[in-house]
A and B are shown apart, each in its own frame.
Chain A
Amino acid sequence: MRLLPIVVTTIGLAAAAPAVAADLSVTVDLPRLNTASYHRPYVAVWIERPDQTAVQTLAVWYQQTRNNEGDGKDWLKDLRTWWRKGGRAMSLPADGVSGATRAPGRQTITIPAARLRGLQPGQYNIVVEAARELGGREVVRVPFRWGGANTANASGSTELGAVRVTVSR
């Protein structure tokens, strides 16, 4: 019953502005890990050039609150690669980018074309990095092409499962 208004809104938006259709989507499988003390991972997703310089952060999931161990931002540095390649220069929270940690399972990020307006056509990587409290860290790179429909995928082996990138047009 509650779905109805959302569907209507989506149709309304699509009709009014077809150009803001989702042009880039990334699905990330967060593995379900059987460990005595599981904490949801911190995850960052960003676009980089083939030389591994960062272009734009698409998502960063971290603890949004302060608890008795500290503020959620205290551990952003543990996303080491993202942190040094661009994360530490960001002002957080960032609208449409930062959010709470996600549960194991398939997570999808869709990026409206409007947010990638500055991205020149060409070859890029989607980078997904996950770091987990009392766990490990893993970085998965997926090369993709911007400027035409294509799909690409890669897979992690410890902290990340499959990562799929879809450019829809």
Chain B
Amino acid sequence: MKKTITLLAFAAALAAPMAAQAHRAWMAPTSTSLSGNDAWVGFDAGMSNGVFIPDHAAMRMNGLVVTAPDGSTVQPEHLMQGQYRTTFDVHLTQNGTYKIANVMGGVMASYKLDGEQKRWRGAAAEFPAAIPAGATEVQATRTASRIETFVTLNNASESVFTPTGEGLELVPVTHPNDLAKGEAATFKLLKDGQPAAGLDVTVARGGVRYRDNPEEMTVKTGADGAFTVTWPEAGMYWLNASVRTPAQGETLGSNASYVAVVEVLP
């Protein structure tokens, strides 16, 4: 039991960028729906209890990938890590929907070597070769964390929604840049490319500092991984789900988490 706790704590510490399980990881755009010949969007990324309130820790952006509507990768600009938030800008020059995602994953392992507790973290391809011969009590978990948001210049497009088949992913049924107060939106969650059924999805609206009730919602995914949210208010929303899968024979257990930030307009 003690070892489990140690391992979980260790897992939490290494499950960057969701470094502290109690805190919520978020990446919030300054605008989501834009018009014109080109546009700039800024992003704030951090981890804190109140979503979009930078008061705890900045997010590490090691896995940041910005995908343009034509499938190319766009370099983020003006990246700066502050005390409580990381900021960067993306210059939108193509019409359509961009995906901005911070994706981290790999294998975390702990083992004993010569009576000493050791830890290892790395790419899935390096495991188990990276574990030295003679290691005992090897415990390993596959991790996948995806924190993403979407922004659209002029007409919305869907090219960036193609899933990779790794970890938890969102496949929109309703376009994430077409959300309005009072309307319902449906999205599907996939785990390793398959429908993620029966997951709890937390829906939290920003601005919690200026009201007393957190006004959070939880919805469950159906057999096809789909869930529907009817937006009670306009605002920036944080959607989160996670799933742990126990090890099965040679297959490692896994710990996958997903966060999307979407804006609902009045």
Q: A residues within 8 Å of B by Cβ?
A: 70-71, 73-77, 80, 83-84, 87-89
Are the CB atoms of B35 and A84 closer together than 8 Å? no
B265 interfacial contact with A, CB 8 Å: yes
- 5 additional contacts, CB 8 Å, given A83-B35, A84-B178, A87-B35? A70-B36, A77-B33, A88-B33, A88-B35, A88-B154
**How far does the Cβ of A9 sit from chain B's closest Cβ, in whole Å?**
36
User: Whose C-beta in chain A lies nearest to the C-beta of B179?
Assistant: A84
Please tell me if the beta carbons of B180 and A76 are within 8 angstroms of each other in the complex: no
Contacts of A83 in B (CB 8 A): 33, 35
User: Does B35 contact A73, Cβ atoms closer than 8 Å?
Assistant: yes
- Tell me which of A76, A80, A84, A87 contacts B36 (CB under 8 A): A76
Q: Interface on chain B toward A: helix, strand, loop, or mixed SS?
A: loop
How far is the CB of A71 from the nearest CB of chain B, in Å?
5
Alpha-carbon distance between A88 and B175 when the two chains are bound, in angstroms: 14
Query: Could you count the A-B residue pairs with CB atoms below 8 Å apart for me: how many are there?
Result: 33
Q: Which of A70, A75, A80 contacts B266 (CB 8 A)?
A: A80
> A76's closest neighbor in chain B, by CB?
B35
Interface size class of B (residues with CB under 8 A): 10 to 19
Residue of A nearest to B175 (CB): A84
Chain B residues lying within 8 Å of A70, measured Cβ to Cβ, are 36
Q: Are A71 and B33 within 8 A (Cβ)?
A: no
Write out the residue numbers on chain B whose beta carbons fall within 8 Å of the beta carbon of A76.
35-36
The residue among B33, B152, B154, B265 with the most chain A CB atoms within 10 A of its own CB is B154
Asked whether, in the complex, the Cβ of B36 is within 8 Å of the Cβ of A74, the reply is yes
| B159 interface residue (CB < 8 Å to A) | no
Chain B residue contacts of A80, Cβ below 8 A? 33, 265-266
Min CB gap A65→B, angstroms: 13
Task: Indicate the member of B35, B155, B156, B265 with the most A CB atoms within 10 Å.
Answer: B35
A residues in contact with B266, CB < 8 Å: 80
Q: Which of B33-69 contact A (CB under 8 A)?
A: 33-37, 39
Mask for B1-39, Cβ within 8 A of A = 1, else 0?
000000000000000000000000000000001111101
